[in-house]
Chains A and B, each alone.
Chain A
Amino acid sequence: MAECGASGSGSSGDSLDKSITLPPDEIFRNLENAKRFAIDIGGSLTKLAYYSTVQHKVAKVRSFDHSDKDTEQDHEPPYEISVQEEVTARLHFVKFENTYIEACLDFIKDHLVNTETKVIQATGGGAYKFKDLIEEKLQLKVDKEDVMTCLIKGCNFVLKNIPQEAFVYQKGSNPEFRFQTHQPSVFPYLLVSVGSGVSIVKVETEDRFEWIGGSSIGGGTFWGLGALLTKTKSFDELLHLASRGQHANVDMLVQDIYGGAHQTLGLSGNLIASSFGKSATADTEFSKEDMAKSLLHMISNDIGQLACLYAKLHCLDRVYFGGFFIRGHPVTMRTITYSINFFSKGEVQALFLRHEGYLGAIGAFLKGAEQDNPNQYSWEENYAGSSGLMSSSPELCPTQRARSGTFDLLEMDRLERPLVNLPLLLDPSSYVPDTVDLTDDALARKYWLTCFEEALDGVVKRAVASQPGSVDAAERAEKFRQKYWDKLQTLRYQPFAYGTLTVRSLLDTREHCLNEFNFPDPYSKVKQKDNGVALKCFQRVIHSLDALGWEERQLALVKGLLAGNVFDWGAKAVSDVLESDPQFGFEEAKRKLQERPWLVDSYSNWLQRLKGPPHKCALIFADNSGVDVILGVFPFVRELLSRGTEVILACNSGPALNDVTYSESLIVAERIAAMDPVVRSALREERLLLTRTGSSSPCLDLSRLDKGLAVLVRERGADLVVIEGMGRAVHTNYHAALRCESLKLAVIKNSWLAERLGGRLFSVIFKYEVPAE
């Protein structure tokens, strides 16, 4: 009933392998600053958790001191950039085979420099067995934590903090892994942990859960009985046998009892009437494969049936499966899924977790860290430092190394501020940020993976160029290239490795990898320059807008927004032009734009709406620095303000490509205010509010936004949401349904995507939506 506490040995002997040499830049990273350890020792795998701080270079922007009244000099940048060191918190999790435990403990001891840590939280069946070894090696006192409490704490943590943690598994369908959308509330749910036995736990809140039942027929039964029947010793070998067997040779099926008549009776002839029923009547020899398969079906069906009965009794339809019987094994996920579908007639879903193997370690860590209250923060999976699902499963990925000797990693970054839903989402539980699921769409996947591969050279070049004074920039950039290239290759074979593969996840992974090698903001200088240039044009643009009649002006403002959006270093077609022709200007961008009617064009409705009463408050998600935000967004904001609409301008918390960051937006707004009385008074009177999104992505996930933003949206009663740019309004949120009016606008700067949407390069999306009454 507990997670496998097998004292028996299977694939893992008890002998400890000391010969392993660990690559310290990949495994057990940041040990120097580690504090708080937790360890979960299962029947064959050990999971180690530690908290550490990571020093990052970050680009900070700061306004010049304007006191000398000398600010309007033409050649001066609008603000200064300084690179500073910032310390962020990170959780590290490492999973390895028990055979390496001693080598790993030695390694940790050698690399653990400061640490005031005195205690290590331990859980799992093996915690007792290795207690002395841990205490001796690490000089830490082992504090044993309850297995199930840890498991559930860990489960709550991943469900809350990792948007695409849970998935359904459907063998043979495409994709086989279907990830669940992030649920605003994860409770209540049923957790079925299939270790040596089965525990069924109902989880009602963060702290309240109840063991509602269990079964003794679990992974230990499969392993133990399987070993007796087949003389096969290891669990993995047994699974392998089972995957090749024919259970119908051993099981008595409905058709064996009914003959051919089952069809006319509407019975499925292949149903198992009696597990091992044929081995009772015949004195024939049975193959190991067939017996293993029969056993697998018997146990999976039984677990599924009991899970359904408990789910029904407690009126729950979300059932998460975990434990070593399930862990990363497509064979058992398949049979469990089948059983759940069969017994619940499709009413209950069998859900699996990407980080299931880490739940105990995460939970033990959280128990130990309770005084730091880690649950008050939001956390984010770091794609650069995490191995991804099934990184070591030979069953699924023949290109990967064999299971043995591999180290699986998970890293979670602590975010500065908690993330919440945008309160304006129509239905948070069905909101999916991403427009195209690349796990689903093989053609699109191929295109985008290639696209990101091809863009890699340019990204490396820009990264190096962004740090001219650094001696090791080229070397780090190469490491970045290798890391990201490897991720892309993994994703070609295992698109499901980090949840649903999307353009957003590819972009975010690239940002994580850049950060990892200390390229926090490769575009900082470009942005600085672009902002400077654009600020100089601001007044001219405003004058020409103000000279227009009302109706003309509205179209010009929208065109300005769109034209500004052409300035995007994230899109390859544009970055090519920008790099080869720096004179490419605002006017030329306007000329590039598609003539109306646009590809998606609800401008007439928008214009009509503007003739009506002003909106109370508009929430605007800005995109790029420079022309986009200064000559596109700010004039638009200014018009809204003049109409009497309050504006919340939301910019990224951290850098991503040339997207304007919150701190940059503060300076830009200040500079514009100095030139423009409308913006000045609006800032002073707090009718124009600048806020951060909580994100450092070129895309936008409206279910993970800074809590402060959500509070503002509620307080000000926002009734219009404007989302601008390809990353935020096309790759993500194109289909997002809101409870208020919304405007999604973008210029398609990728010819493949344009074609897919039925348009051409620089086609315009102008999507104005009013929620149904």
Chain B
Amino acid sequence: MLKSFFPWFGLDIGGTLVKLVYFEPKDITAEEEEEEVESLKSIRKYLTSNVAYGSTGIRDVHLELKDLTLCGRKGNLHFIRFPTHDMPAFIQMGRDKNFSSLHTVFCATGGGAYKFEEDFLTIGDLQLCKLDELDCLIKGILYIDSVGFNGRSQCYYFENPADSEKCQKLPFDLRNPYPLLLVNIGSGVSILAVYSKDNYKRVTGTSLGGGTFFGLCCLLTGCTTFEEALEMASRGDSTKVDKLVRDIYGGDYERFGLPGWAVASSFGNMMSKEKREAVSKEDLARATLITITNNIGSIARMCALNENINQVVFVGNFLRINTIAMRLLAYALDYWSKGQLKALFSEHEGYFGAVGALLELLKIP
């Protein structure tokens, strides 16, 4: 039974990015096709036939989930993102394409669901159904993990993360997920302890997140995109920027069991004028990435210890195309916990909130 009229959207409006999931029904009957209003058809065509929208919207084609059954309907789930600052243009498009005539409900989560509610209503004539961010996130993760990734595993981990030769990305079976520490790294970071589908709590959060990495990179290197920042980071050397334990103690600091390679002071070398003059933008980008990532790992590890949880799932768009950060998280968690903690990742890293919003729309428990 159809619980909601098409189109099926789930929207997550974050501080930096808007994440949109769209279910494209593939089992439309001829009858339905005939009845389908023009605007609905045009939306479907527009979204599925393009991989980029305007100058900033992008469809993550590689994440598309094919032949999914949702509420008895078969179809493909599409994953689209665009910067939050283009939200006005998106609302304008909704108005132009006459979304309001579709009798649909827009389920939206994220802070922007509140911030843009008024605009949706006055400009787009659309009523938003605002949903709790964390509810959606957890719902989304559990659902996506249950349907897999086109036959592959959704969840994965790294073996030998510190060794570029031997490092392997391996599937992880998250059938027994609880308890679970969920670390969502968007512009900022939220950390949740999840004990069951309905029992979770927000443990803490930090303002040092993806937004901080990218923001600092923009200031330090003049880069303009996240991709550019990561690309620079991949070519840089953070040890020129950071002061390591060995820079202070000449090697390991055995009294405290600190290895020489550990960072003693992030950006610590930059106290010196000569060293400031000797670093490249790439080095700075790398150091920023390492600083933010290590810090998130450290806070996550402390939360895991305090909550007595040993599997930690890292999600959020900071991890998108960010293997350096993921491997570092994997390594840091393993090293500092002496193998007690495991860092897990998920293919659809940033889209779970939007998926959760879609599930709410369809009242899927």
A275 CA to B292 CA, complexed, in Å: 11
Is A453 in contact with chain B by the CB < 8 A criterion? Answer: no
B187, A148: Cβ atoms closer than 8 Å: no
Residues from chain B with a CB closer than 8 A to the CB of A125 are: 248
Q: Which residue of A lies closest to B224 (CB)?
A: A283
Residues from chain A with a CB closer than 8 A to the CB of B241 are: 224
Q: 1/0 per residue B199-229: CB within 8 Å of A?
A: 0000010111111101111111000100000
Given contacts A218-B265, A224-B267, contact A8 B207 (CB under 8 A): no
Which of B188, B258, B271 is in CB contact (< 8 Å) with A10? B271
Q: 1/0 per residue B280-302: CB within 8 Å of A?
A: 00001000000100110011001
B302, A310: Cβ atoms closer than 8 Å: yes
Is B72 in contact with chain A by the CB < 8 A criterion? Answer: no
B299, A220: Cβ atoms closer than 8 Å: no
A227, B112: Cβ atoms closer than 8 Å: no
A280 CA to B186 CA, complexed, in Å: 13
B219, A261: Cβ atoms closer than 8 Å: no
Is A187 in contact with chain B by the CB < 8 A criterion? Answer: no
Q: 1/0 per residue A272-298: CB within 8 Å of B?
A: 111111111101001000010000001
Which of B188, B220, B245, B253 is in CB contact (< 8 Å) with A274? B188
* Number of A residues, CB within 8 Å of B: 70
Is B116 in contact with chain A by the CB < 8 A criterion? Answer: yes
Q: 1/0 per residue A185-211: CB within 8 Å of B?
A: 000000000011101000000000001
Classify chain B: how many residues form its interface, as a range: 35 or more
A312 CA to B305 CA, complexed, in Å: 10
Which of A146, A196, A274 is in CB contact (< 8 Å) with B271? A196
9 residue pairs A–B, Cβ–Cβ below 8 Å: A196-B264, A216-B264, A217-B291, A219-B265, A220-B267, A272-B207, A274-B212, A276-B212, A309-B306
Is B111 in contact with chain A by the CB < 8 A criterion? Answer: yes
Given contacts A221-B291, A228-B270, contact A275 B207 (CB under 8 A): yes
Is B16 in contact with chain A by the CB < 8 A criterion? Answer: yes
Q: 1/0 per residue B10-52: CB within 8 Å of A?
A: 0000111000000000000000000000000000000000000
Residues from chain B with a CB closer than 8 A to the CB of A213 are: 298, 302
Which of A195, A225, A262, A274 is in CB contact (< 8 Å) with B15? A274
The stretch from A101-109, A130-138, A248-256 touching chain B is: A248-256
Q: Which residue of A lies closest to B222 (CB)?
A: A283
Is B243 in contact with chain A by the CB < 8 A criterion? Answer: yes
A310 CA to B299 CA, complexed, in Å: 10
Which of B187, B209, B264, B305 is in CB contact (< 8 Å) with A1? B264
Residues from chain B with a CB closer than 8 A to the CB of A306 are: 298-299, 302
A-B pairs with lowest CB-CB distance, top 3: A8-B272, A224-B270, A259-B115
Given contacts A1-B265, A220-B266, A225-B267, contact A280 B112 (CB under 8 A): no
Q: Which residue of B lies closest to A229 (CB)?
A: B219
A265 CA to B268 CA, complexed, in Å: 40
Residues of B within 8 A of A (CB): 14-16, 83, 85, 110-112, 114-118, 186-188, 204, 206-212, 214-220, 224, 241-243, 245, 248-249, 253, 255-258, 262-276, 284, 291, 294-295, 298-299, 302-303, 305-306
Q: 1/0 per residue A143-174: CB within 8 Å of B?
A: 00010110000000000000000000000000
Residues of A within 8 A of B (CB): 1-2, 5-10, 43, 125, 146, 148-149, 195-197, 199, 211, 213-221, 223-225, 227-229, 233, 250-252, 254, 256-262, 265, 271-281, 283, 286, 291, 298, 301-302, 305-306, 309-310, 312-313, 343
A484 CA to B217 CA, complexed, in Å: 55
Give, as a whole number of angstroms, the nearest-CB distance from A221 to chain B: 5
A279, B216: Cβ atoms closer than 8 Å: yes
B212, A216: Cβ atoms closer than 8 Å: no
B212, A197: Cβ atoms closer than 8 Å: no
Residues from chain B with a CB closer than 8 A to the CB of A302 are: 206, 208, 295
B264, A277: Cβ atoms closer than 8 Å: no
Residues from chain A with a CB closer than 8 A to the CB of B114 are: 258-259, 261-262, 265
**Which of B110, B210, B253: most chain A CB closer than 10 A?**
B253
Given contacts A197-B268, A227-B270, contact A274 B187 (CB under 8 A): yes
Given contacts A197-B268, A273-B15, contact A216 B291 (CB under 8 A): yes
Residues from chain A with a CB closer than 8 A to the CB of B204 are: 305, 309, 343
B268, A220: Cβ atoms closer than 8 Å: yes
A7 CA to B275 CA, complexed, in Å: 10
Residues from chain A with a CB closer than 8 A to the CB of B208 are: 217, 275, 298, 302
Give, as a whole number of angstroms, the nearest-CB distance from A340 to chain B: 13
Give, as a whole number of angstroms, the nearest-CB distance from B119 to chain A: 9
A327 CA to B315 CA, complexed, in Å: 38
**Which of A10, A221, A283: most chain B CB closer than 10 A?**
A221
A216, B258: Cβ atoms closer than 8 Å: no
Give, as a whole number of angstroms, the nearest-CB distance from B312 to chain A: 14
Which of B215, B267, B274 is in CB contact (< 8 Å) with A276? B215
Residues from chain B with a CB closer than 8 A to the CB of A313 are: 302, 305-306
A306 CA to B291 CA, complexed, in Å: 15
A279 CA to B263 CA, complexed, in Å: 26
B243, A196: Cβ atoms closer than 8 Å: yes
Besides the contacts A273-B188, A274-B188, what 8 more A-B pairs have beta carbons closer than 8 Å?
Answer: A1-B258, A1-B264, A148-B255, A196-B265, A215-B298, A277-B215, A283-B224, A305-B206
Residues from chain B with a CB closer than 8 A to the CB of A199 are: 256
Residues from chain A with a CB closer than 8 A to the CB of B218 are: 279-280
A229 CA to B216 CA, complexed, in Å: 9
Residues from chain A with a CB closer than 8 A to the CB of B209 are: 274-275
Residues from chain B with a CB closer than 8 A to the CB of A5 are: 248
Q: Which residue of A lies closest to B220 (CB)?
A: A228
B215, A280: Cβ atoms closer than 8 Å: yes
B265, A216: Cβ atoms closer than 8 Å: yes
Given contacts A218-B265, A309-B299, contact A274 B215 (CB under 8 A): yes
A283 CA to B214 CA, complexed, in Å: 12
Given contacts A224-B268, A275-B215, contact A301 B207 (CB under 8 A): yes
B264, A254: Cβ atoms closer than 8 Å: no
Q: Which residue of B lies closest to A212 (CB)?
A: B256
B298, A276: Cβ atoms closer than 8 Å: no
Q: Which residue of B lies closest to A2 (CB)?
A: B248
Residues from chain A with a CB closer than 8 A to the CB of B16 are: 274, 277, 280-281
B284, A228: Cβ atoms closer than 8 Å: yes
**Which of A2, A225, A262: most chain B CB closer than 10 A?**
A225
B267, A258: Cβ atoms closer than 8 Å: no
Q: Which residue of A lies closest to B249 (CB)?
A: A2
A640 CA to B271 CA, complexed, in Å: 71
B207, A9: Cβ atoms closer than 8 Å: no
Give, as a whole number of angstroms, the nearest-CB distance from A301 to chain B: 7
Which of A216, A225, A233, A274 is in CB contact (< 8 Å) with B263? A216
Give, as a whole number of angstroms, the nearest-CB distance from B251 to chain A: 14
Residues from chain B with a CB closer than 8 A to the CB of A279 are: 215-216, 218-219
Residues from chain A with a CB closer than 8 A to the CB of B212 are: 274-277, 298
Residues from chain B with a CB closer than 8 A to the CB of A195 are: 265
Given contacts A211-B257, A256-B15, A261-B117, contact A291 B207 (CB under 8 A): no
Q: Which residue of B lies closest to A7 (CB)?
A: B272
Give, as a whole number of angstroms, the nearest-CB distance from A732 to chain B: 43
Residues from chain A with a CB closer than 8 A to the CB of B294 are: 216
A277, B85: Cβ atoms closer than 8 Å: no
A258, B115: Cβ atoms closer than 8 Å: yes
A272 CA to B208 CA, complexed, in Å: 9
Residues from chain B with a CB closer than 8 A to the CB of A258 are: 111-112, 114-115
Give, as a whole number of angstroms, the nearest-CB distance from A516 to chain B: 40
Residues from chain B with a CB closer than 8 A to the CB of A273 are: 15, 111, 187-188, 207, 211
**Which of B85, B263, B294: most chain A CB closer than 10 A?**
B263
Residues from chain B with a CB closer than 8 A to the CB of A312 are: 306
Residues from chain A with a CB closer than 8 A to the CB of B258 are: 1, 211, 214
B15, A146: Cβ atoms closer than 8 Å: no
Residues from chain B with a CB closer than 8 A to the CB of A223 are: 270-271
Give, as a whole number of angstroms, the nearest-CB distance from B361 to chain A: 21
A2 CA to B248 CA, complexed, in Å: 8
**Which of A216, A219, A281, A306: most chain B CB closer than 10 A?**
A216
